Structure 1
Amino acid sequence: MIQVPLLDLSYQWRSEKDHLLASVERVLERGQYILGPEVRALEQEIAAYCGVGHAVAVGNGTDALILLLKAFDIGPGDEVITTPFTFFATAEAIVQVGATPVFADVDPATYLLTAAAVEKRITARTKAILVVHLFGQMADMTELGRLAEAHRIHLLEDACQSIGAAWDGHGVGSQSDGAALSFFPTKNLGAYGDGGMVLMRDEDRALRLRRLRVHGSVAKYVHQEIGWNSRLDELQAAMLRVKLQRLDAWTNERIAIAQCYHAAFADLPVHLPRPAAMARHVYHLYTVTVPQRDQVQRALAEDGIQTGVYYPIPLHLQEALRSLGHQPGDFPVSEQLAQQALSLPLYPGMEGWRQDAVIRAFRKAVLTLPKVQG
């Protein structure tokens, strides 16, 4: 039987093996492993790639979110509006700094926050909007920017799934007060371990981030404030610099596979992740919504096609956030997505025969379910 994984990272390793090993050897020969020249170079290269003034490397994407919030002094008594349809770390970071997550439901076509939904949730305690660019597509940063400016609140981005994406030609971090990136291995730009970065337009806040990531220290043994220990190591930075050079090519591969899926599934009774008119979608995940999702997933598994469910429980119904007082039905679009969203295999280096296998199996799985046919 044909086997198609949801994600296969071996192609990236094989295609860049010599360069990756050379970058590791360079670090080992130098003998500096924390916050050295590789980290500084990666920060400069990511800032240039995203079109922002400053980039600060940290230990992982969750730390990037926490430190981003801390850089704007968001804490107890503050509310941060975000989406309930995302990975748990988005809300977790808000709680970790002492603030309160306030959810707004998402658009069923894009799975993203809209300015109209966010505006309904703004109160006198709202300090920021933390918009999530889910699955590789940016939200409407034009309208969200206007809303944030009108209410004098910060617009921040959870861009952990969307490096390389754009809205109206502008990349992540370039239309907001700050953004968080993740370099978790499965991300479009993934490390060989954990890693993250904060993008920032304001130099003073970027300097504070550099202090916060190393115990609030301004010089060795001199601590200006309570901080964290969250530092990207030199080995990861060196390898990420190699992979950054291939990011655009790999992104184009993702887009081409997505377009192939779009064409193959256009006649099916499912919702496809087509990009909004002003968006460049980089397809971190190719996520469809389909009735009887679980049955379709089982049928695909029987045909050797691995799929993923992101995310089966929306944040407002998570036990860890029960104190917020939400009930089923509070955010119906997010709840429906949790029941119907299904991510299909898509990754750079995915062979044509594997793409064809996904197409055949998915079409069969959908078309042989009477209730899906209506």
Structure 2
Amino acid sequence: MKFCDLSLSEEIESNIWKKARELIHRNGFILDQEVEKFEKEFAMFCEASDCAGVATGCDALLWAMEGLGISKGDEVITVANTFIGSVLPILRAGATPVLVDCDPLTQQIDAEQVESVITPRTSAILAVHLYGRLAPMDQLLEIAENNGLALLEDAAQAHGARYRGKRAGSIGHASGFSFYPAKNLGAWGDGGALVTSDHELSTRIKRIRNYGQKEKYIHFEKGWNSRLDSIQAIVLREKLKLLDEWNERRRHASKWYYEQLEDAPVITFCDDDGNEPVHHLFVIQVSERDKVQKKLQRQKIQTGIHYPVPIHRHKCFENEHFAAGKTFPEAEKQSAELLSLPMHPNLSEEQVDFISQKLKDTCSESSNDKST
């Protein structure tokens, strides 16, 4: 049983190859009209005014921070149970990450803890929308506004999700999306986008991503090479047409999981009021997680762990002041107990039934092993 199924219909593949051949024939490899069209369409999808396609989701966050003037001496608050790609852009910008723990009920950043760690050096809050659910944006937006902070969104796992009716990417000052192939909206390689309704910021990012030039060989600032590939833009445009439908299929599969696992000895996580998730991942909390995962693997059921190491425990950060000696009990607990079950738009009710039953059988076996 695949953890993630990236297969496409013949019609979608045919459309992609047709447009790719046209692009090749016109030599439109770099920042072709396909990139501009995708930027307009994705901004509209996110209900924002502007989008700048870049090389990766990490770059989108980095350029957002650079565009907002976040640099050495500044602090950016984010959550400890995220992927390292949320934190590296903060460090690359020259700023210092300030970690807080997650809410045990939702797995998202704990807004009350955010407020408690604000200092005169704090310049931004980076809200990470984990697993396809949005962070508590009402609370975070109020905290940001009351303290004069930028609110950024790491929306790499939340393409199309909503919070109180607003799309991921449209709530904060700017947001970063990843188009890694396994995302809800995935390319055929790497890709990313910055989404914002700040036209001036978007215009600057479009300069930064292209060596800082406004026109060829005329450089206005120290930029970089971080452009969304034109062929990837073709792939993304075709997939974007079906994203709402694919997200709805994920919701249906998740609902079926909830029903089948209602009597299982696992914890499934609730959505806080107003969240309309897109279920990039379906994550459960289970005791003896590693044993359960190995037994499911023997049943040919692929699973994942998101994430096995919380940010402050990574080897690369052991001498960093923001991580060394820090403890975040909930993030540490989750790193030992969370398990991601198969989730993709092609997942059927029969497959969910099979996975759920095998999971319950496996948990029962583990319980019997402990009692003997």
Letter in 1 for 2:246: W
Residue 340 of structure 1: aligned partner:
337
Which secondary structure state, in structure 1, belongs to the residue aligned with residue 53 of structure 2?
strand
Is structure 2 residue 359 aligned with structure 1 residue 362? yes
Distance change in 2, residues 1:101/1:372 (3 Å): farther
C-alpha contact 2:75 2:123 (8 A) present in aligned 1: yes
Once the two structures are superposed, the pairs formed by residues 1-374 of structure 1 within 5 Å of their partners are: 4-10=1-7, 12-14=8-10, 16-322=12-318, 323-324=320-321, 326=323, 330-370=327-367
> What amino acid sits opposite 2:323 in the alignment?
H
1:144-182: per-residue Cα shift (whole Å, max 9, x none)?
100000000000000011010010010012111000000
Letter in 1 for 2:200: D
TM-aligned CA deviation for residue 243 of structure 1: 0.3
Task: Structure 2: give runs of 5+ residues left out of the alignment.
Answer: none
Partners of 1:39 and 1:255 in 2: CA distance: 29
Partner SS, residue 268 of structure 2: coil
Q: Report % sequence identity.
A: 36
State the TM-score, normalized to the length of structure 2.
0.96
Q: Which amino acid aligns with 1:338?
A: S
Q: Is the 8 A contact 2:99 2:322 kept in 1?
A: no
Question: In structure 1, how many angstroms separate the alpha carbons of the residues matched to 2:329 and 2:91?
Answer: 23
Number of aligned residue pairs: give it.
370
Asked if the contact 1:292/1:372 (under 8 Å) is kept, the reply is no
Cα deviation, residue 267, structure 1: 1.6
Residue 353 of structure 1: how far off its partner (Å):
3.4
Q: Aligned equivalents of 1:202 and 1:8: distance in 2?
A: 36
Deviation at 1:325, TM superposition (A): 5.4
Give the alignment's Cα RMSD to 1 decimal. Answer: 1.6
Whole-Å Cα distance in 1 between the matches of residues 368 and 58 of structure 2?
40
1:246-301 CA-to-partner distances (Å, cap 9, x unmatched) read: 10111011000000000000122321133222101101110111111111101111
**2:46, 2:167 within 8 Å by CA — same for their partners in 1?**
yes
Q: Secondary structure at the match of 1:80?
A: strand
The aligned amino acid for 1:162 is A
Contact 2:174/2:194 (<8 A) preserved: yes
Offset of residue 214 of structure 1: 0.7
Q: Distance in 2 between matches of 1:77 and 1:371?
A: 54
In structure 1, list runs of 5 or more residues that go unmatched: none
- Asked whether the equivalents of residues 96 and 322 of structure 2 are also in contact (C-alpha less than 8 Å), the reply is no
Distance 1:289 1:247, change over 3 A: same
